[in-house]
Structure 1
Amino acid sequence: MYVMQPFQSGRIGIKRSLSKRKLRWEVRIFRQLRSRKWVSSFASHKGLRRRVKRSREWEANYKFLQLLCDRVTLLFELRSQAVDRLWRFSHGSTRSTRAREAAISDTVALVDGLLERIEARFEGDMELEDE
């Protein structure tokens, strides 16, 4: 995207930022201040196609930028759906484990007890084989 846009205010960029101690990708609109300093502001990925400028300097890559913005929007939506599915899976498995915690701990105790009995029963036989 950076190569296809002139170096002027209104450039669209995708940047990875740290938000609430989590890295996430976001769309930023860059603009140049009078002091030649560049600042960026957050923009939603929805309606990104409309943010592409069409003035004389931008006309050469206008259609390509629109297509690229459509793809970026699609990728952001797919990522959002994947994150949502992962959260639902994690939340569901945690709740399922908590609901069955008593049965799981009983089974673990039973298996540990059986393991100790088996080790005690065959302990003498194993020592003879080692010698």
Structure 2
Amino acid sequence: MIPSMLTAWWRTLPRERRNVWMVIGCGVVGVSVAKTGYFHFSRNLLVQDADRRHKEAVEKLQESYAFADWSHREREKQLPDLTPEQRRQMNKFLNIMMEHEMNKHFPDDPAMRRGMAPTTPEPSE
């Protein structure tokens, strides 16, 4: 019903008014197409920039891990070996830490250094 009403209304318009409505309609469609094109263009630029920044951040993170590993190896090389007495004392200290579960506060787990959740199991209820 509505399309037939619109076509009847369109046919009753003089030619000059039809041309005005055609120009207005083309303008609305043209502006909509331009806005859609600009949206896709700017979105594409933002996505490309985010991808580039993410790639750079991952490279820098890998460089920092490599540097940390190298630094750790260099420090380990410079440390003297433990004497049997020092090793006994360290084992005693570690046993005390395990008995009292004090080691859960120290993020020495490699997963913790990478920002992941600790690998300790959840307590059973």
TM-score bracket relative to the smaller structure: 0.3 to 0.5
Higher relative contact order (CA 8 A, sep 6+): 1
Question: Greater share of helix residues, 1 or 2?
Answer: 2
- Structure with higher Rg: it is 2
> So what's the TM-score if we normalise by structure 2?
0.43
- The alignment's TM-score, normalised by the length of structure 1, stands at 0.41
